[in-house]
Amino acid sequence: MVIPVETFTLSETGGTIQTRIKRQIVDGILTGRFLKGEKMPSSRQLAGHLGVSRMTVTLAYTDLVADDYLVARGRSGYFVSPTAPAGAPASPSVQRQSDRPRFDWTRALGNRPEPPPTVARPANWRQFPYPFIYGQTDPTLFDSQNWRLCALQALRHKDHDALTADQYGQDDPVLVDVIRRLILPRRGIRAEPDEILITMGAQNALWIAAQLLLTQRRWAGIESPGYPGIRDVLARTRCNTQPIDVGPEGLDPDMLPQTLDVLFTTVSHQCPTNATMPMARRRALLDRAEAQGFVIVEDDYEFELTFERSPTPSLKSMDGSGAVIHIGSFSKSLFPGLRLGYLVADAPFVTEARRLRSTVLRHPPGLVQRTAANFLALGHYDAQIQRLRQAYHGRRALMTSAITEAGLIHAGSVSGGGSCFWMRAPETVDTEVLAERLHARGVVIEPGAAFFYDADPPRHFYRIAYSSIAPARITKGIKMIAKEIDALR
């Protein structure tokens, strides 16, 4: 990397011009602004920028080579030496700057809500041999070749405007059409283009819904245990929050409070228990919403990964009054870094959602939208889903067998599909401690306390997933989990 010539200025005092240039370079190296191996501007460029003789710059560089701050590499130019001194005290000007009182950001930011607990996982989890991590993918399962071809197709000249123009809050009509014709019918949903909004993933869609529907005076219902990410979203609206207990059949509509304004739920594949709400209970939930006048936000994640039975219809497909906002995402089926999803609701809500999204980010990147549209339209997405189903079915069978053999205990549903299991250890085992002990053995699990909306949540639950672990390592990894649980009893 070349150090930008604009980085350099010439002070009016401090010795000769050559000395001042040298001092600035030395300060940059000692304070870490100039990194080892970075290329210096050419002597011609720097001289022209500072308005000095090129010879003056060359002499400064030559002196710094002699002091091992720089190295000369023939016609390639001058570079920061890989053995340059480091850790020396900063120059007086830098020291004076660091001693100045720092701006009070606590006062400027005001009384912000405390961040809720999150699912703990090491940042370098891919370096662990046994990563039972949820929501991450195995790169060997992704069709990167066809994704690349779809991106190249999107870059063709005739698609140039869709990629490069500011669409002022509008979505790629090709992607909207593909979702409307190919994806939503699989969930039993019929929607017009003005009832669909492209989002930067499900989390972005949940944030939009919460911002539009909730205030400090309104009440939101969330599942407990449930998706941890929704709690931070709701905390920033400062709304009142009511946790709803989840059982083997999901939440019970009869347990919903009368004060409810919005309910956030995962009826088809509950997070994290994997429970599926029966059809009768879904109808009761819709009747309750219509009678009380509250909105249901349905997070329909992982519906494509149902491989042991047919997927149940989405709640939105049963919605006769228009009270359901349906959220979908491609993060689990393609790759989480894609950050692409969609929101389906009645047109008046989508209009306001589009305005809010436009205020924050205008629209998701055009290249990402058109590439995804091509990937779906050409059948690569269906092939990808089939590949994932086959791989996950095999991994699930391996993990089920290993769990049974090791004597571990399921806490949630074990049928249907998905990519994880919700587990429980003996009540005397703190899974935060368990996770720390397993890290030392190269095993990563997800402690379950963060999924509960309780001041003192149960600490003996945990989640293990099989989407990102090599099949050959599943059985041994499960045995290691069982061994550590036995040691903590």
Same domain, 312 and 358: yes
pLDDT of 13 higher than 50: yes
The pLDDT score that the predictor gives to residue 355 is: 95
Query: Where residue 80 sits, what CATH number does that domain have?
Result: 1.10.10.10
Domain assignment present for 108: no
Same domain, 412 and 481: yes
272 in any annotated domain: yes
Please give the pLDDT value at position 109. Answer: 85
pLDDT confidence tier of residue 403, bands split at 50, 70 and 90: very high
Total of domains in the chain: 3
Q: What pLDDT was estimated at residue 164?
A: 67
Supply the DSSP symbol for 318: G
With 60 as the cut, is the pLDDT of residue 93 above it? no
Are the CB atoms for 176 and 193 separated by under 8 Å?
A: yes
Out of 350, 378, 406, pick the residue that ends a domain: 378
Residue-level pLDDT at 156: 83
Of 322, 353, 378, the position where a domain reaches its end is 378
* Residue 99 pLDDT grade (very low, low, confident, very high; cuts 50, 70, 90): low
Q: Alpha-carbon distance 381 to 400, whole Å? A: 28
Percent over 90 (pLDDT), the chain: 71
Residue 196: CATH number of its domain: 3.40.640.10
Predicted pLDDT of residue 18: 94
Interval 194-220 mean pLDDT:
96
d(CA 453, CA 460) in angstroms, rounded, equals 15
CB–CB of 24/56 below 8 Å?
no
Inform me whether the pLDDT recorded for 299 exceeds 90: yes
Q: Are 293 and 157 within one domain?
A: yes
Q: How far apart are CA 268 and CA 299, in angstroms?
A: 9
Bond before 225 cis per omega within 30 degrees = yes
Q: For residue 70, what are the domain limits?
A: 5-99
Q: What is the pLDDT of residues 341-392, one digit of tens each?
A: 999 999 999 999 999 999 988 888 889 999 999 999 999 999 999 998 899 9
Does residue 210 register a pLDDT over 80? yes
Of residues 185 and 10, the one with the higher pLDDT is 185
Assess contact for 446 and 463: CB atoms under 8 A.
Answer: yes
Is 404 among the domain residues?
yes
Enumerate residues 6+ apart whose C-beta is below 8 A from 332. Answer: 135, 137, 301, 302, 304, 305, 419, 467
- Same domain for 391 and 360, yes or no, is no
pLDDT score at 219: 98
Cα distance between residue 161 and residue 32, in whole Å: 42
Q: How confident is the model at residue 303 (pLDDT cuts 50, 70, 90)?
A: confident
Domain-embedded: residue 20: yes
- The pTM score is 0.81
In the structure, what pLDDT confidence band is assigned to residue 113 with cuts at 50, 70 and 90? Answer: confident
Listed residues 334, 358, 378: the one ending a domain: 378
Same domain (yes/no): 389, 373: no
Please, what is the angle between helix 144-154 and helix 380-406, to 10°? 150
Residue 302: inside a domain: yes
Lowest mean pLDDT among 69-78, 223-232, 255-264, 304-313: 304-313
Collapse the DSSP code of 219 into the 3-class scheme (helix H, G, I; strand E, B; otherwise coil) and give the result: strand
In a domain, 104, yes or no: no
Residues 17 and 134 both lie in one domain: no
Residue 380's pLDDT is what?
94
Residue 266 shares a structural domain with residue 165: yes
Specify whether 171 is located in the same domain as 189: yes
Peptide linkage before 116 cis (omega within 30 of 0): no
pLDDT of residue 308: 63
Tens-place pLDDT, residues 18-46: 999 999 999 999 988 899 999 999 999 99
Question: Is there a single domain that holds both residue 360 and residue 414?
Answer: no
Output phi, psi for 58, to 5 deg: -60, -40
CB 56, CB 8: distance < 8 Å: no
**Residue 216: Cβ within 10 Å count:** 8
| 105 Cα distance to chain centroid | 26
Q: In this structure, is residue 107 part of a structural domain?
A: no
Q: What is the pLDDT of residue 97?
A: 54
Same domain, 370 and 460: no
